[in-house]
Amino acid sequence: MKQKLKTLSLFDSIYTKFLVQLVLLTFIPIALISILFSFNMYQGEKDRRYELNNQVNTSVVNNINVNLEFTSRITQSLLSSNELNTFLKNPYSVEADYDNYIASIQSYVKAAIQSDSRSDIFIYMENSSIPMSMDVFYHLDDIRHVAAISDFLDSDAIDLWLCGDDFSDTSDPYLFPVSDRFIYLRKAYDYKKSFLGILVFSIPEKYFLSFDAQEEGTLISKGHSRIINLSGDTLDGAFLSDMLAKNESCFQLESYLAAKETLPNFPFTIITVTKRTNYGQLLLLFVFILVSFACFSLILCLRNLKKLVSQMDDCLTAMDISIHNNYTTRIPVKGNNEISHICERINLLLNQAALLSEQNIRKETSNKETRLIALQHQINPHFIYNTMEVFSSKMKLYGHYEESDAMVAFANIFRYNISTNDALVTVAEELRQMHNYLNIQKLRYTNISLIEDINPALLFALIPKFTFQPIIENAISHGLTSKEQPLTLTVSASVTDDFLSVSILDNGIGMLPRQLANLKKTLASTEEISTDGHSVGLKNINTRLILYFGESSHLTIESRHEKYTKVSFRIPYTQKVLSS
């Protein structure tokens, strides 16, 4: 039997192991170091950009706080004047108030306005009897209809910061300037908490949003958000909307870095935007070049290794072919290196293996032929002896034609044994031989019956000659306790996976577990068959099956005491070729 060759898995390959080791020890460390270095440089550049954004935001916030404090001082200064409060509260009379207005109120308000050069200051009076003057005093009713003013007046807030976008839908000649300005509204009350009107500061946004930075930027207004664009790019509306939706103080959006600042007492959000430099792209290029160089080195290293492994694979393939061809082919020798020298020595081994194989085949063939001839002829004397004994006993008791029929059956059996030298016969021929044998045995045992459970297509299947009769003989000899006991024999055959399975079942007395174990031990024994003992027929069949078809084809015996005995075997399925 040919030994199955062990196949080489992918992970057992020298090439694979070398590749894995090279990648683990060289390529991966280089890649990891490069990635770590690039990430650190990338993160450092990102942190510097965030720091720039925070510096700009800090500068703007400081400016805003200064302006808020200054506006608060001017507001307190105006509202702290009792004369102004009295003037705004009481009904206006030209005779009584004009001189006071010219002498003190006008001078006081002008001084306050001049102290704040950034702002346009307006006083919208609740008292409509006072005439408008100085481009400072206006009637509140003239702007009360403006939505932002109306909402402020209806609210509980004392003051409020607004921007030009809050007045985008309003156009009124009495309205203070709103374009590119922050608007501060403050309600005015006297000491009795009587409402006098509102103070309005209209301050250009540039005073709030000036900053010190290394880069020039543009200012983008969007609602209550002011975006300082230091990227140099034009930011579209969709991008600005996505950026305003972010809640983080520092975040990255696409290739831009942004820092957001919100003041508790100033309802506007300051966002500084910078663009990342192409430094990251340079790092990626550096990593790409480094990885490419490592890959190129790896390919050069693996090329020679692959050539070596390929020569070894060719050598192994040639060895497999030679083994499967019974060592008739040789390994081609190429070049003059270590592999070629190995091939030469393997060829010498193949020559010796071929010689030894041929010698072993001759010995085994001779031994098989000798044993088969001995086994084939061993049964005949034993059978003839038993048959003649039956005839002798029967003919003494009866003088009828049954003996004649039995003699005919015996002649058929004898002829079957000596008529052909074929080792394999058809199932149909074995069945006919079985019927001849049973015709003889029925002279002694009249209650024997036979059931054939065989597909007609299997009648031409080939099995070893003289297989059924010894099994039937063993069933009759050891399965019956008396001549009158009924005995039913069932012969079955089927084909599964190109193997023919045959079984003979009898309903005799069966065997005890100890007897069954001894019988199996006898069949498994490698000792020569002895003519003594009652299992010579089964031992003979088992030995011939193994000689013909190998160790996997042997007798299998099942038995239960006083129930049944079943003898089975399994051989490769072949059919007799019928001549036309």
Same domain, 270 and 163: no
Same domain, 169 and 193: yes
Nearest to 462 by CA among 435, 412, 404, 422: 422
With 60 as the cut, is the pLDDT of residue 479 above it?
yes
Is 60 a domain residue?
Answer: no
Nearest to 68 by CA among 136, 3, 161, 199: 161
pLDDT in tens, 117-169: 888 999 999 998 888 887 888 999 999 999 999 999 999 999 999 998 889 88
pLDDT grade for 506, boundaries at 50, 70 and 90: very high
Share of the chain above pLDDT 90, in %: 21
The residue with greater pLDDT, 319 or 560, is 560
pLDDT grade for 200, boundaries at 50, 70 and 90: very high
The residue with greater pLDDT, 343 or 541, is 541
Helix axes 468-479 and 338-397, enclosed angle (nearest 10): 50
Same domain, 176 and 245: no
Task: With residue 203 as reference, give the H or E element that holds it.
Answer: strand 195-204
Output the pLDDT for position 124: 94
Nearest to 429 by CA among 403, 392, 462, 391: 462
Output the pLDDT for position 299: 75
Is 355 a domain residue?
Answer: no
**42: number of CA atoms within 13 Å, CB side?**
15
Q: Which two tokens stand for residue 57?
A: 């935001």
Output the pLDDT for position 387: 65
Is 85 a domain residue?
Answer: yes
Same domain, 184 and 266: no
Of 177, 207, 237, which residue constitutes the final position of a domain?
Answer: 207
Question: 416 phi and psi, to 5 degrees?
Answer: -60, -35
How many separate domains does the chain show?
3
**324: number of CA atoms within 13 Å, CB side?**
9
With 90 as the cut, is the pLDDT of residue 502 above it?
yes
Same domain, 270 and 401: no
Output the pLDDT for position 229: 86
Is 266 a domain residue?
Answer: yes
Same domain, 163 and 233: no
Task: Tell me the one-letter amino acid at 94.
Answer: V
With 60 as the cut, is the pLDDT of residue 8 above it?
no
Is 177 a domain residue?
Answer: yes
Minimum mean pLDDT among 316-320, 409-413, 491-495: which range?
409-413
Q: Which residue has the tokens 């307006």?
A: 122
Same domain, 124 and 237: no
The residue segments making up the domain with residue 221 are: 215-279
Same domain, 512 and 394: yes
Of 252, 279, 306, which residue constitutes the final position of a domain?
Answer: 279
Q: Is 49 helix (H, G, I), strand (E, B) or coil?
A: helix
Is 5 a domain residue?
Answer: no
Is 175 a domain residue?
Answer: yes
Of 207, 229, 248, which residue constitutes the final position of a domain?
Answer: 207
Contact in structure between 251 and 46 (CB atoms under 8 Å): no
Beta bridge partners of 228: 219, 272
Output the pLDDT for position 4: 45
Is 253 a domain residue?
Answer: yes
CB neighbour class for 64 (10 Å; exposed up to 12, middle 13-18, buried from 19): buried
Report the CATH number at residue 93. Answer: 3.30.450
Flag whether the pTM goes above 0.85.
no
Q: Could you give the CA distance from residue 332 to residue 119 in angstroms, rounded to a whole number?
A: 101
Same domain, 459 and 485: yes
Q: Which residue has the tokens 């520092």?
A: 250
Task: With residue 479 as reference, give the H or E element that holds it.
Answer: helix 468-479
Same domain, 240 and 172: no
Same domain, 201 and 92: yes
Q: Could you give the CA distance from residue 138 to residue 128 in angstroms, rounded to a whole number?
A: 9
Report the CATH number at residue 397. Answer: 3.30.565.10
Beta bridge partners of 556: 568
376: Cα separation from own chain's centroid: 62
How much is the average pLDDT of 493-498? 92
Contact in structure between 157 and 151 (CB atoms under 8 Å): no
The CA R_g of the chain, rounded to the nearest whole Å, is 58
Q: Could you give the CA distance from residue 500 to residue 574 in angstroms, rounded to a whole number?
A: 8
Same domain, 547 and 427: yes
CB neighbour class for 18 (10 Å; exposed up to 12, middle 13-18, buried from 19): middle
Q: Could you give the CA distance from residue 191 to residue 86 in angstroms, rounded to a whole number?
A: 10
